[in-house]
Structure 1
Amino acid sequence: MARIRAAFHDPDGARYGIPTFWWRGAPSGYATRRQLRERGLCPGGQPVAAQILWRGVGGVRAAYLYRLDLARPKRTPSAAQLRALDKAMTARRTCSTCRTVRPYCIPRSLGECLECA
Structure 2
Amino acid sequence: MATVASRFYDPTGARYGIPTYPWRLAPDGYLTRRQLRVRGLRPGGQPVAAQVMWRSRRSPAGWRVAYFYRLDKARPVRPMTPGRVRALAAAMRARRTCPGCRTDAGYCIPRSLGLCVTCAYPV
Q: TM-score, normalised by structure 2?
A: 0.83
**Matched letter for residue 47 of structure 2:** P
2:65 aligned residue: 62
Spell out, residue by residue over 1:76-103, the C-alpha distance to the aligned partner (whole angstroms, 9 max, x if none): 2201211222122212212234332111
RMSD: 1.8
1:7 aligned residue: 7
Structure-2 change in CA distance of 1:13 and 1:96 (3 Å) = closer
Matched residues, number: 116
Q: Which runs of 5+ in 1 are unaligned?
A: none
**Matched letter for residue 82 of structure 1:** V
Question: SS where residue 12 of structure 1 aligns?
Answer: coil
2:95 aligned residue: 92
List structure 1 segments (4+ residues) > 6 angstroms apart after TM superposition. none
**Matched letter for residue 109 of structure 2:** I
Structure-2 change in CA distance of 1:96 and 1:6 (3 Å) = closer
Q: TM-score, normalised by structure 1?
A: 0.87
Structure-2 change in CA distance of 1:60 and 1:116 (3 Å) = closer
1:22 aligned residue: 22
1:71-86 to structure 2, matched below 5 A, reads: 71-86=74-89
- The counterpart of 1:102, out of the listed 100, 105, 112, is 105
2:53 aligned residue: 53
**Matched letter for residue 93 of structure 1:** R
User: Aligned partners of 1:97 and 1:60: how far apart in 2?
Assistant: 43
- The counterpart of 1:112, out of the listed 106, 111, 115, is 115
Structure-2 change in CA distance of 1:114 and 1:20 (3 Å) = same
User: Aligned partners of 2:94 and 2:24: how far apart in 1?
Assistant: 43
CA shift, 1:109, in A, is 5.2
Question: SS where residue 5 of structure 1 aligns?
Answer: helix
Q: Which runs of 5+ in 2 are unaligned?
A: none
CA shift, 1:27, in A, is 0.6
